[in-house]
Amino acid sequence: MSSLKIDTTPKHEFSPRFYMQFMEPLGHTDSSVAACWNVLEDKWRDDFVEVVSDLKPSSIRWGGILTGFWKWREGVGDPKDRVPMVNYLWGGVETNRVGVHEFLDFCEMVGAEPIMGINFAGDGRPEYIETALGEKRAGTPEEAADLVSYCNDPDHAERKANGRDKPWNVRTWQIGNETSYPKAGERFDRHENAEQYVAFAKAMRERDPSITLIGWGDLERDTNESWTPTLLEAAGETIDMVAIHMMHQNPKDPDTPLRGRKYRDDYTKTWDALTEQYQSVESKLIGARETIEGINPKIRLAITEGHLSIQPHNKNEVLREWITGLFHARTLTLYERHSDILDIVTLADFAGQSWLVNAVLLGSPAEQPYLLPVGHVMRLFAHHVGTHGVEVESDDADLCVSATREGDKLFLHVANLDFEAEKTLSTGVTGKGTVHQIAPGKLDAYIDSTNLDVFAVETREVADASSVTLPPASVAAIVIDLS
């Protein structure tokens, strides 16, 4: 029997922004946002709204690299008068039919808090500051501040003229996106990033002092050194969170099974390769945590993007299979155990027709949208989670566990990484319980439009939750009534 050591005392607030999704128009690369829009009825697709509501994202971020050349005013006002935009990174032309209003209205529809990205002076990237077509696409502090006013000022005349009387009161804003990733000379350096952040933050806070601001503090591509110290030193009281991305989850071994269909030859080797990716995520998270705590423990950490980056790029079929569901559950319990410093977390991109790093796959127009394994894991945990973090330890390396609490309810999130044996878990906590689990029985269980129920959640009651048995290779949310 495996044992848990749980201190049921609530320790810290568990962020309401934890299970974030990420919306970025991807042009020709993957018809993401455009494919979610019903052109004939001029609204979000009903089936898309339904599946996202059930996914239950706590927050949705608008932006990504797109914000380096996105001009928000081109996407407001009468749709027939909106200015099309070349998608300089992902290809094609964006009609801007989905703009500020449509994104924020969608967040209201599915009950998610919006997180707005802004055009951070093109992140200092020359190809966006002056494009190949001769456009000057870099944003200014004033443009960002104008967007804050547009969203949050109760009396904003332009927003009202465009059909939205009451403000959206967008609380959370990200300034800078993967700014440190291009080669030196092809973006801001760390000092320019910090200086520009302060200019944007001050302008935005002048319009609404209550907003929460996220700055870019990830590792520099060339040196692997953190930009966080320089950012926090310059930003002072103008910053609330530091953003990093978990984007480089790619194997270094040229013979990795995480390439093409090689993963099918040996699932044990594939899991070992996924474990290496997990360890790199854990190492980066702990490094970012230690850096922040050494400077200003009040600052929170935001993982606003991140997914496996394996070949073929964003389309490896292993991402349909349950073995990656287990990987993502393992990663998410890691994040939840660090919820005292983590405020925003995501495991995937959001929605699209072809990329398999998405939480939601749209398929063809005749197919209903559905969740990939990573989406099923986020959905399960988001449906059964408390408001405050709880300390928990497992004496079994094959049981990855995190815990939260709300009132008299204790919530345990558990991934059983033993692929062959069920695990009997001694929680040390008495009370009636409910187990919600995903247990397809095989690592190669997969989902597509012909097999939509493969990751269906099974629910069972337990009279005494002090002992709970979990199937092999399963993920569970266990709810215990402490009263």
In the block, tokens 């039919």 appear at 97
Question: Coil, strand or helix: which one is 397?
Answer: coil
416 lies in the same domain as 295 = no
313 lies in the same domain as 424 = no
Mean pLDDT of the chain: 96
Single residue among 342, 358, 387 that ends a domain in this structure:
387
439 lies in the same domain as 306 = no
Percent of the chain having pLDDT more than 70? 100
337 lies in the same domain as 434 = no
Q: Give me the amino acid identity at 68.
A: G
Exposure class string for 151-189: b at 16+ Cβ within 10 A, else e: bbbeebeebeeeebeebbebbbbbbbbbbbbbeeeebbb
Q: Return the pLDDT at 435.
A: 98
Q: Return the pLDDT at 248.
A: 87
Single residue among 350, 365, 387 that ends a domain in this structure:
387
Mean pLDDT of 248-267: 95
Pull the structure tokens for residue 212: 């929460």
Question: E-strand spans in 197-321?
Answer: 212-216, 241-249, 300-308
Q: Give me the amino acid identity at 343.
A: D
The answer to whether 175 and 201 are in contact (CB under 8 A) is yes
Mean pLDDT of 139-155: 98
How many Cα atoms sit within 13 Å of 156 on the Cβ side? 22
User: In terms of residue numbers, what domain contains 224?
Assistant: 14-387
Q: Model confidence over 351-384: pLDDT tens digits? A: 999 999 999 999 877 789 999 999 999 999 999 9
Q: Tell me how far apart the terminal alpha carbons of the chain are, to the nearest angstrom.
A: 25
230 lies in the same domain as 122 = yes
Whole-angstrom Cα distance, residue 106 to residue 94? 18
Single residue among 340, 365, 387 that ends a domain in this structure:
387
Question: pLDDT-based confidence at 11, cuts 50/70/90?
Answer: very high
CATH number, domain with residue 411: 2.60.40.1180
Mean pLDDT of 409-422: 97
Question: Minimal CA–CA distance to 217: which of 245, 182, 183?
Answer: 245
Q: With the C-alpha atoms ordered 182, 183, 187, 191, is the resulting torsion angle positive or negative?
A: positive
CATH number, domain with residue 38: 3.20.20.80
Whole-angstrom Cα distance, residue 350 to residue 344? 15
The answer to whether 259 and 273 are in contact (CB under 8 A) is no
The answer to whether 85 and 27 are in contact (CB under 8 A) is no
Query: Quick check: 433 pLDDT over 90?
Result: yes
151 beta partners: none
Pull the structure tokens for residue 472: 């092999």
Whole-angstrom Cα distance, residue 452 to residue 145? 44
Q: Return the pLDDT at 32.
A: 85
Please give the radius of gyration of the chain, using alpha carbons only, rounded to the nearest integer.
22
Question: Minimal CA–CA distance to 100: which of 9, 200, 173?
Answer: 173
DSSP string, 87-106: -TTT-SEE---S-HHHHHHH
263 lies in the same domain as 125 = yes
Burial environment of residue 309 by CB neighbours within 10 A (0 to 12, 13 to 18, 19 or more): middle
349 lies in the same domain as 476 = no
328 lies in the same domain as 452 = no
Residues in the chain: 483
Q: Return the pLDDT at 366.
A: 77
335 lies in the same domain as 401 = no
292 lies in the same domain as 426 = no
Whole-angstrom Cα distance, residue 67 to residue 64? 6
Q: Model confidence over 273-287: pLDDT tens digits? A: 999 999 999 999 999
- Cα–Cα distances (Å) from 305 to 21, 133, 443, in that order, read 9, 29, 26
Question: E-strand spans in 362-457?
Answer: 370-371, 388-394, 399-406, 409-416, 423-426, 433-438
365/14: higher pLDDT: 14
Q: Give me the amino acid identity at 308.
A: L
The whole model's pTM is what? 0.97
Q: Return the pLDDT at 363.
A: 80
Q: Model confidence over 151-193: pLDDT tens digits? A: 999 999 999 999 999 999 999 999 999 999 999 999 999 999 9
Q: Return the pLDDT at 1.
A: 83
Mean pLDDT of 55-71: 96
353 lies in the same domain as 429 = no
279 lies in the same domain as 417 = no
Whole-angstrom Cα distance, residue 32 to residue 355? 9
Estimate to the nearest angstrom the gap between the alpha carbon of 20 and the chain centroid. 4
- The number of folded domains in the chain is 2
In the block, tokens 């995903």 appear at 438
**91 contact partners, CB below 8 Å, separation of at least 6:** 27, 28, 29
Torsion of CA 289, 290, 292, 297, to 10 degrees: 90
Q: Return the pLDDT at 365.
A: 75
